[in-house]
Structure 1
């Protein structure tokens, strides 16, 4: 698999990565807000996917502490 890091991809490639990952019902720029992750930050080259996924996981753990598994420090 090719690298998906911002430094190794173009904006167009990042758009395609998000589109393919989320499926056909999502369109880049809209629709994926229901996932709880702002993928536009990745597309724009601001944050890596890894960072966005970690933040989303921490948000879930804060909202549902009974499901806490990774010990997120956000409280």
Structure 2
């Protein structure tokens, strides 16, 4: 199975050191959405949410395959 890394880019840049074995890029996309939702929830508890913060899904060589912003991961209504 391929290994995907999840690079968090928010107020600080947190490169992924370890990866996760996942079946395919679709599974990695879903995992990135879950991570983005968790991080967004933590940000909301601190009173601030930047919907442009993101998680970049990378392959084993460090190439970015897709990006999920916090805004992509949640449905914001008013």
Task: Determine if the TM-score, normalized by the shorter chain, exceeds 0.5.
Answer: no
The answer to which structure has the higher helix fraction is 1
The answer to which structure has the higher strand fraction is 2
Higher relative contact order (CA 8 A, sep 6+): 2
TM-score norm. by structure 1 comes to 0.38
